[in-house]
Structure 1
Amino acid sequence: MLRIGITGGIGSGKSVVASVFAALGAPVYDSDGRAKWLMAHDTRLREQLRAAFGAEAYDAAGQLNRPYLARVAFNDAAQLARLNALVHPCVGKDFAAWSAAQAAASRPYLLKEAALLYESGAYRGLDGIIAVFAPAGVRVARVRQRDVHRSAAEVEAIMAKQLSEEEMLARADYVIYNDDSQLVLPQVLALDKQFRRKNLE
């Protein structure tokens, strides 16, 4: 079974593209969504996060204190690396178990969607990577429309911390252009056909 990664910078539309693949019957693992779930529910990870970031990592009701973690980690490279070193291996194990279940169900291929596919090392062990591309200006406009509380400067700051468009495109095996100049569906259909054919080889 082929294991394909799908990534893209904030506002590129990678989740929209992944949902099109899902509509075609491809199982999609949402790494970012699962990371949030694991941080909230995985007992061992919860203990590790409390030990690393203090009791404030969770509120009085035991819920993940996302604003606190964001404030502590996302503006401090060392703390962010510490957070990622705890979360990414946990997500990796979760993905391994999930992908084994998909293989047992005889799926032709699966997708692993992750914003930090390269940065986390999650690209290793995958059979190919799809990069979803949109120009920076388009991405900023999309994010500001979706997240009205964010300023353009805040969106650009997030983009600056992510892999550059040039490097992402250079490292990708496949590119889907979601820049409003091409239709996404024909591009996804072509790759879906290609992946299903490869699985039969």
Structure 2
Amino acid sequence: MKIGITGGIGSGKSYVCKLLAERNIEVYDCDKAAKRLMHESAELKSQLIKLLGPDAYTDDGLLNKAVVARFLLLSEDNAHAIDNIVHPAVVNDFIQSGMQWMESAILFESGISHLVDRVIVVTAPEIIRLERIMKRDNISNEKARQWMNRQWPQEKVRQAADFEIVNDGIQPLLPQLETILNKLQQ
């Protein structure tokens, strides 16, 4: 059985994945894979340079994150153009990995939820998510909201998922995770 872990930016998906790693459950990280592939794949680099221009990569061959972020946030069409280049490469990489678990912030939005049999969503109150994003990325409230608004509303993801882990800093995570793992084993 393949399992997807999703949730909006700042919800705590990565932390839940660390808890899974402590249980020897390896999780494919779509975001890290996308970044790796954008650096390693000559084909992806070529396509991104064609789309974004020569500033897409620095002189030493690193992805120019500021250029990509600026382009992404300008319009939905821009975001889709990048997604149409990167997502197929990530899907192929996941399939080739043979892994059973996948973490993706945009599992439903990207159309890759068909790759998994069950979905766990990690949720948190919006104010907590905003604080986490601003602190982690050292960005303004406005910029954090822009990133949040690029994703489905949390309630929509919650309704589409099979299981929910509430990461509000009040409810303990481990019992929630253990309950889900037990249900998945049945």
TM-score by length of 2: 0.94
**What is the alpha-carbon distance in structure 2 between the residues aligned to residue 59 and residue 142 of structure 1?**
29
CA contact (8 A) 1:57 1:68 kept: yes
User: 1:159 aligned to 132, 141, 148, which one?
Assistant: 148
How many percent identity over aligned positions?
36
CA-to-aligned-CA distance 1:109-139 (integer Å, 9 cap, x gap): x320011111111101311110001111111
Match of 1:29, SS state, is strand
CA contact (8 A) 2:73 2:146 kept: no
- The equivalent of 2:44 in structure 1 is 45
Cα root mean square deviation, aligned: 1.3
Aligned residues: 186
1:111 matched to 2:101: yes
2:103 maps to amino acid? E
1:171 Cα shift? Answer: 0.5
- The equivalent of 2:62 in structure 1 is 63
- The equivalent of 2:112 in structure 1 is 122
1:143 matched to 2:142: no
The structure 1 segments of at least 4 consecutive aligned residues displaced by more than 4 Å after TM superposition are none
- The equivalent of 1:87 in structure 2 is 86
- The equivalent of 1:15 in structure 2 is 14
Instruction: Give unpaired runs (5+ residues) of structure 2.
Output: none
**What is the alpha-carbon distance in structure 2 between the residues aligned to residue 145 and residue 82 of structure 1?**
29
CA contact (8 A) 2:10 2:132 kept: yes
**What is the alpha-carbon distance in structure 2 between the residues aligned to residue 125 and residue 141 of structure 1?**
32
**What is the alpha-carbon distance in structure 2 between the residues aligned to residue 179 and residue 70 of structure 1?**
28
- The equivalent of 1:191 in structure 2 is 180
Taking a change above 3 Å as real, the CA distance of residues 143 and 73 of structure 1, as seen in their structure-2 partners, is: closer
**What is the alpha-carbon distance in structure 2 between the residues aligned to residue 156 and residue 70 of structure 1?**
14
Instruction: Give unpaired runs (5+ residues) of structure 1.
Output: 103-109
2:173 maps to amino acid? V
**What is the alpha-carbon distance in structure 1 between the residues aligned to residue 69 and residue 117 of structure 2?**
32
**Structure number with bigger Rg:** 1
- The equivalent of 2:29 in structure 1 is 30
**What is the alpha-carbon distance in structure 2 between the residues aligned to residue 174 and residue 137 of structure 1?**
22
CA contact (8 A) 2:55 2:64 kept: yes
CA-to-aligned-CA distance 1:122-165 (integer Å, 9 cap, x gap): 10131111000111111112222323x31222212221221101
Taking a change above 3 Å as real, the CA distance of residues 17 and 75 of structure 1, as seen in their structure-2 partners, is: same
2:132 maps to amino acid? R
TM-score by length of 1: 0.88
